Structure 1
Amino acid sequence: MKLYYYPLSGHSHRARLFLSLIDMPFEIVTVDVGKDEQKAPDFLKLNSFGQLPVLEDNGVIVADSVAILVYLAKKFGRTDWLPEDPIAAAKVQRWLSVAAGQIAYGPAAARLITLFGAEYDADEVIKRSHDILKLIDAELHGRFWIASNLPTIADVALYSYIAAAPEGFVDVSGYSHINAWLSRVEALPGFVAFEKNAVGLRAA
């Protein structure tokens, strides 16, 4: 099993984190986005969108971080991470959609400005970030995990860009329930940290 991966990508980190949490052996193939290696012809054969991460599993190619989480949970029968019960599965899916929507256009986008000079309106994406973080913080009030009594792939999908939000000048220090949740994710067996960068609120 190979994971095509870029260390600064929160999408890549999601996939790597889940593989580690379920103790699944895999090989990392680093694709340097800074050199546009994701646009090389050989990579585009794996993912015509030219995006990371991509999982290669004995000839099966799975692109998109959330799709990889679902694939791995289903393939290895990890109903603890992705329940079969319709209601429980729907609760997980709700937060996978948030990860692909409000998180991508909030904390992830804010971080793209500081790391890569993305041409977004900083005030707008920081406001979006706080809008969704307030909702997530409220949802975590009185509970350990976002979608269930146990950690699920929803927690994995949300974690990376929320943990790295300060790199996009998004201050998470005031969200007590989120910070407790981040600590719980980081205490899980097999946890792998997302690489930190000295930008935004983390700048020296």
Structure 2
Amino acid sequence: MRRTRMIKLYDFPQSPHCQKVRLALSEKDLSYEKVLVDLTKNEQKTPEFLRLNPYGKVPVLIDDEEVIYDSTIINEYLEDEYPHPPLLPAQSGERARVRMFEDFADNSFTAQGNLLVAELRKPAEQVDRERVQRYRADLLRVLEFLERQLEGKEYIARTFSLADLAFVPRLLMLPTLGVEIPARLRNVLAWSERLKQRPSVKQLQQELASA
């Protein structure tokens, strides 16, 4: 790990948004201290935590005196402060593409995954099977869109970036959610396997397995 200023991450291990930040920290080889915020105990709503983030959400990152919340803003901050290795392309058009796809990942892939997780965690007799099928279909539609976007590319913006990183947390959970990437989505399958070979993603998989 590279020596840096003191970085502290307020984290809940199962949160995909926290995982997104942990992936960025790992990609940049930054050492940091984790502070557990137990969402099951509503610790994110305590007065102490609300002083860090008035929205009462994780993650929150503290870098010396700087307090930053929201996973997308945190990762952009890390890119600004610790630019090597870069997770944003040099060209403005490609940077815009990364930001659009990161937003798309958060709002169309992670969000639908979260709804599916919440539904599947209900007692069996309370699970709405129609909702489950609808959420799974929504996730597959995102993958079909990505199939077209990945044509001729190894990564969304040609090189690995914050856009790819944003999809990883829920990509790793697809088997648990009962979603299989269809064989016809060859670009997505190759991209997914490529992501899983990255040390940062392997580390996240190990963390999830031991959680």
Classify the TM-score, shorter chain.
Answer: 0.7 to 0.9
Structure 1: stretches of 5+ with no match in the other structure: 198-204
Letter in 2 for 1:22: K
SS of residue in 2 equivalent to 1:167: coil
Structure 1's consecutive aligned runs of 4 or more residues displaced over 6 angstroms after TM superposition are 116-120
- Distance in 2, matches of 1:74 and 1:13, equals 19
| Range with greater deviation from structure 2 (8-17 or 157-166) | 157-166
In the TM superposition, what whole-angstrom CA distance separates every residue of 1:130-183 from its partner, at most 9, and x where no partner exists?
Answer: 1111111232233210122x1011111111112212333322254432232122
Separation (CA, whole Å) in 2 of partners of 1:156 and 1:190: 10
Residue number in structure 1 paired with 2:13: 7
Equivalent of residue 174 in structure 2, options 137, 147, 165: 165
Q: Give 1:193's aligned residue.
A: 204
Moved more, 139-148 or 22-31: 139-148
Q: Say which is worse superposed, 106-115 or 156-165, in terms of deviation.
A: 106-115
Change (3 A) 1:187 1:41: same
1:200 aligned residue: none
Q: Please say which of residues 5-14 and 161-170 is displaced more in the overlay.
A: 161-170
Q: Please state whether the residue corresponding to 1:46 is helix, strand or coil.
A: coil
- Count how many residue pairs are aligned between Structure 1 and Structure 2: 196
CA distance in 1, matches of 2:169, 2:117: 11
The AA in structure 2 aligned to 1:100 is D
Counterpart mapping for 1:1-204 below 5 A? 1-78=7-84, 80-115=86-121, 121-148=131-158, 150-174=159-183, 175-191=185-201, 192-194=203-205, 195-196=208-209
Q: What is the letter of the counterpart of residue 156 of structure 1?
A: L
Measured in 2, the distance between the counterparts of 1:130 and 1:193 equals 23
Structure 2: where are the runs of 5+ without partners?
Answer: 1-6
Aligned-residue CA RMSD (Å): 2.3
Structure index of larger Rg: 2
Residues 1:125 and 1:20: Cα distance change in structure 2 (over 3 Å): same
TM-score with structure 2 setting the length: 0.83
Distance across 1 between alignment mates of 2:100 and 2:127 = 29
Amino acid at match of 1:178: V
Q: CA deviation at 1:196?
A: 4.9
Percentage identity across paired residues of the two chains? 27
